[in-house]
Structure 1
Amino acid sequence: MLRGNISRRTFLKGIGLTGAVVGVRLPPLEAMFNFGGTAYAAEVTTGKVLESPIESRFLLWFNGNGIPERYWIPTEIGPGYTLTPCLAPLAPFRNDIHVISGLDNAAARLPGPGNGHHNSMSALVSGTPFSGRGAGGSSIDQVIAAKIGGESRFRSLQIGVCQESFGESIQRNMSWADRDHPLPPEMIPHKLFDRLFGTKDQGWVNRKRSVLDAVSNDAAQLKSALGKQDRLRLDDYLASIRDMERAIAGLPPHYAQVEEPETGGLPSCKLICWFTPLPLDNLESPPTCSPNARACRDFRG
């Protein structure tokens, strides 16, 4: 298999039920990279191979009400630390992970409008005091997205599973374009799925067919040009998309409503399990540089 003979911008394309264009972006394949795997490569008509850097990605995951430090932060500082219970699943990647502790955020303690929740939320996401209506400035994910977003189809995606915020924007939104300018999260899985795969067909919403049906011919043609490892990787990636469709098909009927639905008694952990593959798959097949996920049931007395 030649390196660099498939563009990293390649999409599997097809036509949906109502004539809408469907696009499925590819995961990183060996055929997209140079021989060292250090950069994307694309062969041009002159016979020269041009290289472009691998994009950076930023994922912000918010888990409301915090985690006890003893479960999260190692007692040792530096390499060779003992993994805490929360970090244990990351053991295979420990050499690539930095756990940052000992931070302070003075903005959360500045006098001003709002209570401890308001002040802490604004300081957490933006490093600025609560304005009285929302965050006092751009959130960290938007600052980073402005730098690394480049030509991404979505510079950032906001995703959430929280249905309760007491009507307060500062508790509902993790992303802020600027002072008092929230970027609300998408909370309905099928709407996020359809946004990512570029179709408004009613058939996709109801999951009567797979979005993969529309791109099957394009996928088969591509596989014929791929090496063994790339074919396996593509198969696994497409299977993960189908798994997401099946999960969305199992949602309660009221999740198809336009208005934000109630959970119907579904536990938060189940909602999180349905939503999590969407931002993670988009780190692998990157139409976005800064996905933002909020997993929280907010504050309950």
Structure 2
Amino acid sequence: MPRNRSWSRRTLLRGAGVSMALPWMESLPCFADTTKFPKRFGVLFMGNGVNEDHWGAEGNGADMKLSKTLEPLEPLKHKINVVHGLFQKRATGQGIHPAQTGALLSGAVIQKGAIIKAGITVDQLIANKVGQETAQQSIVLACEQPMTGYHETNFSMAYSSHISWQTPDSPVPNEVYPSLAWDNLFENRGSLRNMSILDRVMDDANSLGRSISANDKAKLDEYLTSVREVEKRVDSMRKSKDSAEDLAKQKNRPVFSMDRPANGLPEDLRDHARLMCDIIAIAFQTDKTRVASLLLARDLSAMYYPFLGVKDGHHSASHDNTSEGYERISRFHLSQLAYLATKLDSMKEGEGSVLDNSCLMFLSNMWIGRKHDNSRLPLVLAGGLGGTLKTGRTLDYIKAGNDNRKLCSLFLSIMDRMGIQADAFGDATTKLENI
């Protein structure tokens, strides 16, 4: 490649069948305008509520005090908002579980029976707008396989298994295998699946390294090393998936019907969740997508947590949600938000970071599992969305009145900051005050 190549934000590291956007570098003229960094939106979901005795925050800024479950966010408290009291009204009074989840991100009225009907979700609406500028409109990941069939309330289990919907009658399929998520991200097909992404772009990277400052060269090396580290872990899980598919063929059954880890999913959820977060982080940094969702544990989750010393599965444990064990489960999932936010915050963009140009939202479909109470929802936002979202705050809407604490009003506010103008979304016609 010629050394006098003109680098631009849309000029990528290129190789055989792959391209990677560059991280911010001060010595490249294309990054001189720091007002044009992309804004990103991500959702992390944990089903069945939290331990309400240990979920909360008080105060703002340096004086913000976080509860036990939110402690993993302590180093980032100046870059988060803990939001109390929002709810999805149309998800109340319709029955437990699927009815509480199916329209969580859309505010739609969902339908019982054989024909599913929900609504396009906020992440997909944003993706339809900003996704035109990226290789993928969005990535939709999960750490647990979806369920089939119907709940006793006559709502489809699809509502419990998916939080992202591209049309009212079609949820976006969850990608549960890290290797497939990685391959989709970097368009790995056929023989390319066996070739390192970095090896394919290394000529371009070496050429760039000769034309940038020493500081940027160190930044580029760090960037490439982080991608290589994730790629190696993905490759290990790819081998497990291939072995699972061979076993499924021998047993003449679909691989998704087999229990973890025989189905090729990591036996240890810690490995699975962290790798999915790493994939989102790299997707945001390489500008492969600007919208992502991660279903850490679905509604009615069957996940087990031996590493937390909890014997019951997630759903069963949620029926005793004030227990110490369930608090550990809640804190574990909240810590994935802390991990992803910290990783994004380490990725510099101008005077800020990728996190500063993003909004990550962590939430559940209910508040108290033992009561199936979704009259309010646990919710945390991380990131400043390009300076449009003030952070370091505790926002309390519990006593604001039902019309002033709509989750869809928050979605309208986020959409507005992402450059999407809408008069209404779900059951909301006004943006959330004070956000």
TM-score by length of 1: 0.80
> Distance between the aligned counterparts of 2:125 and 2:292, measured in 1?
13
| Shift in Å, 1:158 | 0.6
> Distance between the aligned counterparts of 1:95 and 1:7, measured in 2?
32
Q: Deviations over 1:197-249 (max 9, x none)?
A: 122143535xxx42211111111001111112221222111111111122123
| Shift in Å, 1:106 | 0.9
Assess, with a 3 A threshold, how the Cα gap between structure 1 residues 78 and 242 changes in structure 2: closer, same or farther.
same
Q: Is the 8 A contact 1:12 1:219 kept in 2?
A: yes
Alignment-derived partner of residue 110 in structure 2: 130
Residue identity matched to 1:93: L
Gaps of 5+ in 1: 16-20, 40-52
> Which secondary structure state, in structure 1, belongs to the residue aligned with residue 174 of structure 2?
coil
| Shift in Å, 1:135 | 5.2
Alignment-derived partner of residue 27 in structure 1: 23
Gaps of 5+ in 2: 1-5, 150-156, 246-253, 303-314, 317-435
Alignment-derived partner of residue 144 in structure 1: 126
Residue identity matched to 1:28: W
> Which secondary structure state, in structure 1, belongs to the residue aligned with residue 65 of structure 2?
coil
Alignment-derived partner of residue 89 in structure 1: 72
> Which secondary structure state, in structure 1, belongs to the residue aligned with residue 166 of structure 2?
strand
> Distance between the aligned counterparts of 2:135 and 2:236, measured in 1?
28
The reply on whether 1:59 has 2:42 as its aligned counterpart is yes
Q: Is the 8 A contact 1:28 1:285 kept in 2?
A: no
Assess, with a 3 A threshold, how the Cα gap between structure 1 residues 124 and 294 changes in structure 2: closer, same or farther.
same
> Distance between the aligned counterparts of 2:168 and 2:133, measured in 1?
25
Alignment-derived partner of residue 179 in structure 2: 190
Alignment RMSD (CA, Å): 2.4
TM-score by length of 2: 0.57
Assess, with a 3 A threshold, how the Cα gap between structure 1 residues 154 and 164 changes in structure 2: closer, same or farther.
closer
1:121 is matched with which residue: 101, 104, 127? 101
Alignment-derived partner of residue 284 in structure 1: 285
> Distance between the aligned counterparts of 1:193 and 1:252, measured in 2?
10
Assess, with a 3 A threshold, how the Cα gap between structure 1 residues 218 and 262 changes in structure 2: closer, same or farther.
farther
Alignment-derived partner of residue 87 in structure 2: 104
Assess, with a 3 A threshold, how the Cα gap between structure 1 residues 134 and 170 changes in structure 2: closer, same or farther.
farther
Alignment-derived partner of residue 226 in structure 1: 212
**RCO higher in 1 or 2 (8 Å CA, sep ≥ 6)?**
2
Q: Is the 8 A contact 1:110 1:129 kept in 2?
A: no
> Distance between the aligned counterparts of 1:66 and 1:272, measured in 2?
18
| Shift in Å, 1:89 | 3.5
> Which secondary structure state, in structure 1, belongs to the residue aligned with residue 103 of structure 2?
helix
Q: Is the 8 A contact 2:10 2:21 kept in 1?
A: yes
> Distance between the aligned counterparts of 2:64 and 2:52, measured in 1?
15
- Which runs of structure 1 show a deviation greater than 6 angstroms over 4 or more consecutive aligned residues? none
Assess, with a 3 A threshold, how the Cα gap between structure 1 residues 57 and 237 changes in structure 2: closer, same or farther.
same
Q: Is the 8 A contact 2:146 2:158 kept in 1?
A: no
Q: Deviations over 1:132-162 (max 9, x none)?
A: 2445211121122234334122111111110
Q: Is the 8 A contact 1:28 1:284 kept in 2?
A: no
Residue identity matched to 1:280: A
Alignment-derived partner of residue 42 in structure 1: none
| Shift in Å, 1:295 | 0.8
How many residue pairs were aligned? 270
Greater CA drift, 94-103 or 141-150: 141-150
Alignment-derived partner of residue 193 in structure 2: 204
> Distance between the aligned counterparts of 1:252 and 1:263, measured in 2?
15
> Which secondary structure state, in structure 2, belongs to the residue aligned with residue 123 of structure 1?
coil
Identity in percent: 27
Q: Is the 8 A contact 2:110 2:116 kept in 1?
A: yes
> Distance between the aligned counterparts of 1:22 and 1:150, measured in 2?
18
> Distance between the aligned counterparts of 1:119 and 1:285, measured in 2?
36
2:235 is matched with which residue: 249, 262, 282? 249
